[in-house]
Amino acid sequence: MRILSKSKLMAFRQCPKRLWLEVYHPELRKDSAATQASFAAGYQVGDIARQLYDPKGEGVLIDSQAEGFDAAFARTQRLLQSPQPIFEAGFRAQGALAFADAILPVAQGDQLAWRMVEVKSSTSVKGYHHDDSAVQSYIARASNVPLIGIALAHIDSSWVYPGGGDYQGLLKEQDLTEAVFNRGDEVSSWIAEAQQILATDKVPAIKTGAQCGQPFECGFLAHCRSQEPQAEQPLSWLPGRFNNKLSAHIQAHQVTELRDLPDEFLNDKQRRVKAVAVSGQTYFDQDGAAQNLAPHKLPAYFMDFETIQFSVPIWKGTRPYQQIPFQFSVHHLAPNGILEQQAFLDLSGADPSEAFAQSLINACGNHGPIFVYNAGFETSRIRDLAERLPHLAQPLLALNQRVVDLLPVAREYYYHPNQKGSWSIKAVLPAMCPDLNYADLDGVKDGGMAMDAFIEAISSNTSTTRKKEIEQQLLRYCELDTYAMVRLWAAFSGKVLN
Ligand code: SF4
């Protein structure tokens, strides 16, 4: 019988096949950049939690990797005899093992009891946290720890960092004792079922489905999909919600290809996507697009931001996970057709907000439309900046009044077979302007990579040469974003650029 870790049991809870693959074919797992970022956020929050729960530095951190599991379990048992906080305390019982983020002493008369705290980098308590805490508390109690309670500490996204390394208030606790202490039988049955899954040498016959993204994106998705027949033109390309009749038809007839959907169940946009897929012919209502954009006269500006967010804020006055812009590109198209670009990029590691806001206000002039692609993102960042920088609020908010979104224009008037159901600028640009493509960029090619590059650039371990290289990559990437908008605008408007 295998000893199952909590993470293996949670893998089982998501999908028995995931557990089987984790154990027998871990090499097939490919975690996405988002998953890796969430691991990194978890480590950072864990470090801060240790400071918060042990302000006097009296606690002990158990490093099971360095010590080995057996030594870690034995040391935990010894440490439980004295009242100090223990971090990464290890427990083993009933064929399972777990390491607690924090276990804190509680005096009960002359007895020593313990309270467990699980620390998460999420901003609220999720359903799967209950399962996670049920497993933790079950294993600890089964290994005879006098546990009187368990709480989940998550990030309070409304908290504002006061600076100076003071993180009091970053975490918010929710007590889960009542919700999870009586779930021992359930946990025990999960362990037994998981053991059964692992007792066979055959991979469980489970198809990909909703479970692959819930509660986490499964790292085996690419592998599992590669084992299943894939639709040539999948239904996921259809935009918008599926109405009841459409869903019922798909279910009843097991439809997987767009071409097999009856038009009568589709709305206009869905019918268009299906027709383009089936015919291979691009849809482009250029007159409609031009009419839509006609009221917005030159001079015009084309604006794009890159942002960074930290689970644990590093700049005074910012909140956890607040998106803070560190870079912009603005193209300016004058009435005489001259196109110019201005860029801002701060890789100093200091809060870029004030300089960013000042430079943006200067770059956008005082009249003319400001085109963006998916306006909600940029306008929200501008509102955030206006809130944090009241002395610049008026000129910042005035920019938002001039914003015109190109995304709805693309959605309404253009669709190319290669877009495969996406109207992201990275899908529309190479279809409409084949001479431009994000894939041709060196290094940074998307917003996630821009964030990673920013983090690397501001690290004190990064060499000047590498920082310079990142700077060039970021500048080229953001410039392409706004130049792409210029080209899309010209194509939609039927204008020829100089
Ligand atoms: S990708 Fe989906 S089906 Fe495959 S193991 Fe993961 S959750 Fe299970």
Question: Are 141 and 17 contained in the same domain?
Answer: yes
Tokens of 89: 């305390």
| Cβ(18) – ligand 1 distance below 6 Å | yes
Q: How far apart are CA 235 and CA 218, in angstroms?
A: 21
| Cβ(190) – ligand 1 distance below 6 Å | no
| Cβ(208) – ligand 1 distance below 6 Å | yes
Question: Are 58 and 149 contained in the same domain?
Answer: yes
Tokens of 373: 């692609």
Taking the chain (498 residues) in consecutive chunks of 10 residues, what is each chunk's mean pLDDT? 92 97 96 83 90 94 93 95 95 94 91 95 95 96 95 97 96 97 95 95 94 93 94 94 94 94 95 96 97 97 97 95 97 96 97 98 97 96 97 98 98 96 94 89 91 94 95 96 97 91
Q: Which of 447, 297, 477 is nearest to 374 (CA)?
A: 447
Domain CATH number, residue 477: 3.30.420.10
Q: Whose CA is nearest to atom 7 of ligand 1?
A: 212
Instruction: Name the residue type at position 63.
Output: D
Do residues 399 and 392 lie in contact, with contact meaning Cβ atoms separated by under 8 Å?
no
Q: How big is the chain, counted in residues?
A: 498
Helix axes 447-458, 464-493, angle to 10 degrees: 150
Ligand 1 pocket, mutate which of 15, 25, 207 (most atoms under 8 A from CB):
15
Other C-beta atoms closer than 10 Å to the C-beta of 86 total: 23
Q: How far is the CA of 451 from the centre of ligand 1 (A)?
A: 28
The pLDDT, as a whole number, for residue 38 is 82
Q: Which of 141, 139, 168 is nearest to 156 (CA)?
A: 168
Q: How far is the CA of 26 from the centre of ligand 1 (A)?
A: 13
| Cβ(15) – ligand 1 distance below 6 Å | yes
Strands 339-345 and 324-333: antiparallel
The pLDDT, as a whole number, for residue 2 is 84
Q: How far apart are CA 392 and CA 354, in angstroms?
A: 9
Residue 419 covered by a domain? yes
Residue 403 covered by a domain? yes
Question: Are 360 and 482 contained in the same domain?
Answer: yes
Q: How far apart are CA 80 and CA 112, in angstroms?
A: 9
Adjacent-strand bridge partners of 414? 284
The pLDDT, as a whole number, for residue 42 is 85
Question: Are 149 and 238 contained in the same domain?
Answer: no
The pLDDT, as a whole number, for residue 223 is 97
Question: Are 156 and 268 contained in the same domain?
Answer: no
Question: Are 22 and 137 contained in the same domain?
Answer: yes
| Cβ(17) – ligand 1 distance below 6 Å | yes
Q: How far is the CA of 90 from the centre of ligand 1 (A)?
A: 29
| Cβ(220) – ligand 1 distance below 6 Å | yes
Domain encompassing residue 366:
289-493
| Cβ(274) – ligand 1 distance below 6 Å | no
Q: What's the predicted TM-score (pTM) here?
A: 0.89
Residue that finishes a domain, picked among 218, 248, 281: 281
The pLDDT, as a whole number, for residue 242 is 94
Question: Are 300 and 367 contained in the same domain?
Answer: yes
Residue 223 covered by a domain? no
Domain CATH number, residue 102: 3.90.320
- 182-212 pLDDT tens trace: 999 999 999 999 999 999 999 999 999 999 9
Adjacent-strand bridge partners of 105? 114
| Cβ(206) – ligand 1 distance below 6 Å | yes
Question: Are 340 and 453 contained in the same domain?
Answer: yes
- 405-425 pLDDT tens trace: 999 999 999 999 999 999 999
Specify burial of residue 87 (Cβ count, 10 A radius: 0-12, 13-18, 19+).
Answer: buried
Q: How far is the CA of 30 from the centre of ligand 1 (A)?
A: 12
Q: How far apart are CA 494 and CA 307, in angstroms?
A: 32
Q: How far is the CA of 256 from the centre of ligand 1 (A)?
A: 19
* For residue 105, cis peptide bond before it (omega within 30 degrees of 0): no
Q: Which of 97, 113, 96 is nearest to 88 (CA)?
A: 97
Question: Are 293 and 309 contained in the same domain?
Answer: yes
| Cβ(211) – ligand 1 distance below 6 Å | yes
The pLDDT, as a whole number, for residue 108 is 84
One-letter-per-residue 3-state SS of the chain: CCCEEHHHHHHHHHCHHHHHHHHHCHHHCCCCHHHHHHHHHHHHHHHHHHHHHCCCCCCEECCHHHHCHHHHHHHHHHHCCCCCCEEEEEEEECCEEEEEEEEEEEEECCEEEEEEEEECCCCCCCHHHHHHHHHHHHHHHHCCCCEEEEEEEEECCCCCCCCCCCCCCCEEEEECHHHHHHHHHHHHHHHHHHHHHHHCCCCCCCCCCHHHHCCCCCCCHHHHHHCCCCCCCEHHHCCCCCCHHHHHHHHHHCCCEHHHCCHHHCCHHHHHHHHHHHHCCCEECHHHHHHHHCCCCCCEEEEEEEEECCCCCCCCCCCCCCCEEEEEEEEEECCCCCEEEEEEECCCCCCCHHHHHHHHHHHCCCCCCEEECCHHHHHHHHHHHHHHCHHHHHHHHHHHHCEEECHHHHHHHEECHHHCCCCCHHHHHHHHCCCCCHHHCCCCCCHHHHHHHHHHHHCCCCCHHHHHHHHHHHHHHHHHHHHHHHHHHHHHHCCCCC
Q: How far apart are CA 430 and CA 414, in angstroms?
A: 13
Q: Whose CA is nearest to atom 5 of ligand 1?
A: 18
Strands 147-155 and 111-119: parallel
Q: How far is the CA of 193 from the centre of ligand 1 (A)?
A: 17
Is the backbone of residue 144 left (phi > 0), alpha (psi -120 to 50) or beta? Answer: left
Residue that finishes a domain, picked among 216, 250, 281: 281
Q: How far is the CA of 188 from the centre of ligand 1 (A)?
A: 23
Question: Are 27 and 147 contained in the same domain?
Answer: yes
Residue 211 covered by a domain? no
287 φ, ψ (degrees, to nearest 5):
-60, -45
Residue 47 covered by a domain? yes
Residue 435 covered by a domain? yes
Nearest atom in ligand 1 to the alpha carbon of residue 14 is 7
Nearest atom in ligand 1 to the alpha carbon of residue 208 is 3
The pLDDT, as a whole number, for residue 121 is 93
Residue 149 covered by a domain? yes
Domain count, the chain: 3
Tokens of 348: 């100093």
Q: Whose CA is nearest to atom 2 of ligand 1?
A: 212
Residue 385 covered by a domain? yes
Question: Are 77 and 173 contained in the same domain?
Answer: yes
Question: Are 347 and 259 contained in the same domain?
Answer: no
| Cβ(13) – ligand 1 distance below 6 Å | no
| Cβ(19) – ligand 1 distance below 6 Å | no
Do residues 155 and 172 lie in contact, with contact meaning Cβ atoms separated by under 8 Å?
yes
Q: Which of 313, 343, 314 is nearest to 327 (CA)?
A: 343
Q: How far apart are CA 483 and CA 494, in angstroms?
A: 16
